Structure 1
Amino acid sequence: MLVAESAGEIKGFANFFPSKQNIEEAELAAIYILPEVQSQGLGGKLLSKGIQELGGLKTLFGVVEKENRIGRRFYESKGFKYVNEFVEKLQGHVFKSIKWYLRLHDGIRI
């Protein structure tokens, strides 16, 4: 897990997991930036650092809830491409989500 801090306060985090099936793939499992510091580049910096630390990646996947417009804009702005939509049920809750991918040879937009 990567954490973005400022003046000793946590402003956001990102969680990356390497794929168990393919060493050239990983998942951005979660990324969150406090609303008051969004649009200041912290998400892009966390994304870039995570990719750098995993090393050797060709593809990064991410999932965002369909109704999360801010999250969707983030993925789109960084060059991620739409894969598909799916529904998950967890403890009686239904989540409609979108899967995205980023081919790293295409470059990341920070």
Structure 2
Amino acid sequence: MQALTNIADDLKLLGDKTRLAMLSLLKEREWCVCEFVDIFDISQPAISQHLRKLKSRGIVRESKRGQWVHYSLNVEDKPYLKAVLQEMPSSESILAALNKEVKATCCD
């Protein structure tokens, strides 16, 4: 029953449109917090809160580079999340829908 609870908890996190879009973007490469702030037009603390929730479930991992934190997808052991993410639009489609372009990384 614990496995069922874990899967349900993971899937609950995907019920948020911003978190689902973040994970979809992370399918193709790692992203910095500052990039997500630009893309989603929400505050850095709000972006960090979304990512903290995903990290707490082991869905993303972080690496610090100077003052910035970069995130990458970590779903190798979660085939149910991989299946959901395979059905999601590409980064290009998500960015187009948000009227955003990928800029040179702001944190390097």
Give the TM-score of the pair, scaled to structure 1.
0.27
Structure having the larger proportion of residues in strand: 1
- Tell me: higher relative CO, structure 1 or 2? Use CA pairs within 8 A at least 6 residues apart: 2
Greater helix proportion: 2
Normalising by structure 2, report the TM-score.
0.27
